[in-house]
Chain A
């Protein structure tokens, strides 16, 4: 009886999992975070470019990027939205992922260190003895704010890094639980309007102006078994990128971004949209790898050239 019960439970769970994951031959399941940099993807979807390529793209929005690569490995997704640090860490740990396509430039101008106004925090040196908030320790935001602090005279051994979710950072700052925060675009715009706060620096721009922090990734195994599907996906995405570039500053783009991010249109209008990067830059990935090695996130070099997918 016990064995039968277990069998029923396993079958039920397997059925639920398989039913949800079963994919048609032309279906691609993509893990995304509803953030403005994904506008080219949503444009391709809204304009039917994936359909034109015979693809049925299913988006699986998630609240955070942490499950992207585990979701790829577990087979929940075919393609995931991730970042360069997570991808390099994955490859170093033997998870063979490749970067497929870059996103619009602009991270350098939209991601900023915020501090309380009038407290004289202008450089890394001013943060000695202070608390700096990052969304996740030992990931991309943490890596670049540490490098900016180092380059601007800060002593990392005297600075505490505290994990705070992006939506809570500004409140934590105003309540003096932290002294600075490395924030993303929506909250940088909110901080810009807040008289108690000020934008101190754009660490990406200062550390590595052409950095490509976000990419689509997939496992090499999936790419090799589905090369035609991946190439069709990239062609459609490229058309989405062209639509995006042509509509920067226009109402159509604002409406699209407001639709999938659920942000108020007036906030979207203040975003600094930049054209889509033409290709993945090996040199930029190498710079990120060098920073990771310095911080101890990587013990040895990773074959970055092999990480970039070429159709």
Chain B
């Protein structure tokens, strides 16, 4: 079972292109349909948890499934399995990437790839934007941070995005607390 956890997640890590969200479908297929390690309901519960916690979604899923099947050791092996392909492949690539980049044609290719990276990031961003609740608070937080990020870049201001994330989270809790106390005040009248 331990080995099977390791190899299953190794395979998932090896064959998932395009980041964590592509991985969700792969994990479901193997873990729910093929092996029945967790039920469909539990799978959706796991995705909710993975999306509510920080970090790569692949790692969250591997840890979760591993723990369910074989406790802490299981989760360690599943997580190791899912990151090992990346470690091996990227280590190999980094050995010759510099020499590779010095090649004239590779440099030409990267002039184009730069645009593709911008395209992929903008696309991921617009997909997420569509899912944002269209409420004034979340839209104004979005707009404020977007404009600030651009201004900081233009004027080379160093500011850690971690603070933006914390500010957003605190605003979220404050908004909740205000909405709740407003509601209670309304009920008391």
The answer to whether A and B assemble together is no
